[in-house]
Amino acid sequence: MAKTYSNKINKIRSFALALIFVGFIIMYGGIFFKESPIVMLIFISLGMLALMFSMVVYFLIGMLSTKAVVVNCPNCEKPTKILGRVDMCMYCREPLTLDPNLEGKEFDENYNKKSSTTQNKA
Ligand SMILES: [Zn+2]
């Protein structure tokens, strides 16, 4: 359990969600500077910027999702999206690859670890 991998789309999505929270927190911080409208304005515009950036990230996720390949996970049999050549299942974090050449390479160690743990579960 030293390394935890997650699905790329899920990872980007949680990053965008975190940005929204950060944006709101920054804007909320502006309330404490009611006396100086300029500082408050800076806080609010920074918060807006974070919110806009998160929207851009969400837009990118949408773009990436169209490129992602939907496959049925061999482990949990749910449809999941693969981004890039190697990715994880969104639900059970089973390592999945689209490139058969990669199966024995880059992902070798993790694949062995994960498959042994999932075998124990099942
Ligand atoms: Zn799965």
pLDDT digits over 19-39, tens only? 999 999 999 999 888 889 899
* Side-chain-facing half-sphere of 93: CA atoms under 13 Å: 14
The model's confidence at residue 122, banded by pLDDT at 50, 70 and 90, is: very low
Are 87 and 73 a contacting pair, CB within 8 Å? no
Q: How remote is the CA of residue 4 from the centroid of ligand 1, in Å?
A: 15
Instruction: Give the integer Cα–Cα distance in Å for 97 and 107.
Output: 9
Domain boundaries, the chain: 8-67, 69-121
**Quick one: pLDDT at residue 119?**
46
Predicted TM-score (pTM) of this structure: 0.65
Q: How remote is the CA of residue 111 from the centroid of ligand 1, in Å?
A: 13
**Quick one: pLDDT at residue 104?**
55
Token pair, residue 82, equals 């693969």
Q: What is the number of other CB atoms lying within 10 angstroms of the CB of residue 28?
A: 12
Q: How remote is the CA of residue 21 from the centroid of ligand 1, in Å?
A: 29
Q: How remote is the CA of residue 77 from the centroid of ligand 1, in Å?
A: 6
More confident residue, 108 or 76: 76
Q: How remote is the CA of residue 84 from the centroid of ligand 1, in Å?
A: 17
Percent of the chain with pLDDT over 70: 78
Asked whether the predicted pLDDT for residue 65 surpasses 90, the reply is no
